[in-house]
């Protein structure tokens, strides 16, 4: 059977009709979308305003530059490795540099028989032999900057602490408001019980300026606080950390702990107590992010 070919004119007309119909469908869809958008805008305008908290554009996740840690939180994720804290004599935190003495815990008191090896420095004062050269370098650097600085205290024996304790307790008792036992308890709570003063370690030193002043406002103590870590020293009793040290802030009291620990402690603004505590697994679980 032979199929008859359709007229070319017919085919052309048909193509035009189909094209027009398709265009009409597309235009209908576009107009419908525009109408829907208008309706949505009208609906939004009719809704009541809702108070919201805008998210800052510079908000960052922990670890990025714009992140601010909660007040009082210390990031201990970069603690020095324990191997870097020891030497051939005593490894890690058992090293002589990190001997902890404070009045918060009797386990941190030194015994009457503790006598460190001391070497003379100047002005009748001595310092523990293993750290004496660093103390001399610290003093020399301050003086090279034009500051007048003097030592006001270094080593204090157990017997000297006992004399001080008895004298303070007697003074309070003589005021007539407390019994002798209560006066002794008060002095103990102040951190002055025999064996509770870290000056007995031979690693603590107090500085004063030319006027015998030991306040943060003095330029010499400000300089020494800013540069102490370079010589292995820390500000032992910083303001605001009394809960850890058990002692009031002492702007002129510095303690030798060695280069590694000193750099970390001063950079973080923490204390020797916190530095040692940070190495315990329990502390890490609480303080780490």
Which residues have CB under 8 Å from 39's CB, separation 6+?
none
What pLDDT does 280 receive?
Answer: 85
C-alpha angle 19-23-26 in degrees, rounded to nearest 5: 145
Question: Which three-class secondary structure state does DSSP give residue 256?
Answer: strand
pLDDT category of residue 214 using cuts at 50, 70 and 90: confident
Count Cβ atoms below 10 Å from residue 12 Cβ, excluding itself.
10
110-117 long-range contacts, CB within 8 A, separation 24+: 110/158, 110/195, 110/200, 110/201, 111/158, 111/195, 112/158, 112/159, 112/194, 112/195, 114/158, 114/200, 114/201, 115/157, 116/155, 116/200, 116/201, 116/202, 116/203, 117/202
Q: Residue 243: is its pLDDT beyond 80?
A: yes
- Asked which of 32-36, 74-78, 164-168 is least confident by mean pLDDT, the reply is 32-36
Name all domains of the chain by residue range, CATH numbers in brackets.
82-287 (3.30.1380.10)
CA pair distance 33, 134, nearest whole angstrom = 80
CA pair distance 86, 95, nearest whole angstrom = 6
> Left (φ > 0), alpha (ψ -120 to 50) or beta: where does 202 sit?
left
Count Cβ atoms below 10 Å from residue 228 Cβ, excluding itself.
23
pLDDT category of residue 47 using cuts at 50, 70 and 90: very low
Query: Considering the chain, what percentage of its residues have pLDDT values greater than 90?
Result: 61
**If you average pLDDT over residues 89-97, what whole number do you get?**
93
Write out the H or E segment, with its range, that includes residue 277.
helix 272-277
Question: In this predicted model, what pLDDT tens digit does every residue of 163-212 receive, in sequence order?
Answer: 999 999 999 999 999 999 999 999 988 888 999 999 999 999 999 998 88
Burial 39-50 (b: 16+ CB within 10 A, else e): eeeeeeeeeeee
Average pLDDT in the chain:
82
CA pair distance 115, 113, nearest whole angstrom = 6
- Asked which of 21-35, 168-182, 254-268 is least confident by mean pLDDT, the reply is 21-35
CA pair distance 128, 156, nearest whole angstrom = 12
pTM, rounded to two decimals: 0.73
Q: Are 151 and 205 in contact (CB under 8 A)?
A: yes
Q: Are 151 and 159 in contact (CB under 8 A)?
A: no
Question: In this predicted model, what pLDDT tens digit does every residue of 99-144 receive, in sequence order?
Answer: 999 888 889 999 999 999 999 999 999 999 999 999 999 999 999 9
Q: Are 126 and 214 in contact (CB under 8 A)?
A: no
**In DSSP terms, which residues pair with 126 in a beta bridge?**
120
pLDDT category of residue 50 using cuts at 50, 70 and 90: very low
What pLDDT does 103 receive?
Answer: 86
């Amino acid at each position: 059977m032979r199929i008859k070919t359709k007229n070319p004119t017919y085919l052309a007309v048909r193509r035009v009709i189909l094209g027009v119909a398709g265009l009409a469908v597309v235009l209908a869809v576009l107009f419908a979308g525009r109408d829907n958008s208008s309706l949505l805008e009208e609906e939004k305008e009719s809704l009541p305003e809702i108070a919201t908290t805008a998210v800052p554009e510079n908000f960052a996740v922990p670890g990025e530059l714009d992140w601010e840690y909660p007040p009082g939180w210390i990031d201990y994720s970069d603690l020095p490795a324990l191997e870097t804290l020891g030497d051939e004599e005593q490894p890690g935190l058992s090293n002589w540099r990190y001997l902890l003495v404070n009045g918060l815990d009797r386990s941190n008191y030194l015994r009457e028989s503790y006598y460190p090896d001391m070497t003379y420095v100047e002005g009748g004062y001595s310092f523990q032999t293993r750290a004496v050269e660093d103390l001399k370098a610290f003093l020399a650097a301050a003086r090279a900057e034009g500051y007048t600085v003097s030592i006001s205290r270094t080593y204090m024996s157990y017997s000297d602490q006992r004399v001080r304790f008895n004298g303070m307790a007697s003074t309070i008792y003589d005021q007539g408001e407390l019994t002798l036992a209560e006066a002794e308890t008060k002095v103990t709570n102040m951190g002055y019980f025999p064996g509770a003063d870290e000056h007995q370690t031979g690693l603590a030193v107090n500085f004063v300026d030319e006027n015998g002043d030991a306040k943060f406002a003095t330029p010499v103590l400000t300089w020494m606080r800013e540069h102490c870590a370079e010589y292995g020293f820390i500000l032992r009793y910083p303001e605001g950390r009394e809960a850890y040290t058990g002692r009031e802030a002492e702007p002129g009291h510095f303690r030798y702990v060695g280069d590694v620990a000193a750099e970390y402690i001063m950079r973080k603004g923490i204390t020797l107590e916190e530095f040692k505590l940070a190495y315990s697994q329990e502390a890490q679980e609480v303080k780490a992010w």
